[in-house]
A = this chain, B = another copy of it.
Amino acid sequence: MKRVSIKDIAKQLNISITSVSFVINGRAKEKNISDALTKKVLDLVAKLNYQPNTLATSLRTGKTRIIGFLVDDISEPFFSGIAKRIDEIASELGYKILFSSTRNDTTKAIELLQIFKDRHVDGYIMALPEGLEDEVKKLIATDAPVVLFDRYVQDVQADYVIINNKESTALATAHLIDNGYKNIAFITVDSVQLQMLDRLAGYEETIAKHQLHPFVKKINYSTSATTIKEMAEFFNANKNLDAVIFGANYITLDGLRTFRAMGMRIQKDLAVVSFDDFEILEFCDPPVTAIAQPLEAIAENIMKTLMEKLKQTSADKKYSEVVVPTIFNIRESSAKVKA
Q: Choose the segment among A17-25, A126-134, A276-284 that binds chain B (4+ C-beta atoms closer than 8 Å).
A: A276-284
The minimal Cβ–Cβ distance linking A269 to chain B, given in whole angstroms, is: 15
Counting chain B CB atoms within 10 Å of each CB, the highest count among A55, A87, A96, A97 belongs to A55
Interchain nearest-CB distance for A62 vs B (Å)? 8
Chain B residue numbers with a CB within 8 Å of A83 are: 74-75, 80, 99
Interface-side segment among A114-122, A188-196, A310-318, A323-331: A114-122
Q: Tell me, in angstroms, the Cα distance from A51 to B120 when the chains sit together.
A: 12
Whether A80 contacts B74 by the Cβ 8 Å rule is yes
The answer to whether B118 touches A51, judged by C-beta atoms less than 8 angstroms apart, is yes
Instruction: Give the nearest-CB partner of A90 in chain B.
Output: B100
Output the least CB separation between A224 and chain B (Å).
11
A46 at the binding interface (Cβ < 8 Å):
no
Query: Main SS of chain A's interface residues?
Result: helix
Which residues does chain B contribute within 8 Å of A119, judged by CB atoms? 54, 96
Contacts of A111 in B (CB 8 A): 91
Measured between alpha carbons, how far is A56 from B91 in the docked complex, in Å? 24
CB distance from A139 to the nearest CB of B (A): 13
Q: Do A77 and B77 have beta carbons less than 8 Å apart?
A: yes
- For the complex, is A64 an interface residue (Cβ under 8 Å from B)? yes
Q: Is the CB of A98 within 8 A of B101?
A: no
Q: Does A321 contact B (CB under 8 A)?
A: no
How far is it, in angstroms, between the C-alpha of A285 and the C-alpha of B280 when the chains are bound? 12
Q: Is A339 an interface residue (CB 8 A)?
A: no
In the complex formed, the residue of B with least CB distance to A114 is B51
Measured CB to CB, the nearest residue on chain B to A96 is B98
Cα of A112 to Cα of B91 in the assembled complex, Å: 8
Quick one: which of A59, A80, A91 has the most chain B CB within 10 A?
A80
Asked if A88 lies at the interface with its beta carbon under 8 angstroms from chain B, I say yes
CB-CB < 8 A to A294: which residues of B?
none
By the criterion CB–CB under 8 Å, are A98 and B97 in contact?
yes
Give per-residue flags for A292-308: 1 if the beta carbon is below 8 A from chain B beta carbons, else 0.
00000000000000000
A81 at the interface (CB under 8 A from B): yes
Q: Known A-B contacts: A77-B80, A91-B115, A97-B98. Give 9 more (CB < 8 A).
A: A54-B120, A55-B58, A59-B59, A74-B80, A87-B99, A97-B99, A279-B280, A283-B283, A283-B284
The 8 closest A-B pairs by CB, nearest first: A80-B80, A75-B84, A75-B80, A55-B59, A75-B81, A55-B58, A280-B280, A74-B84
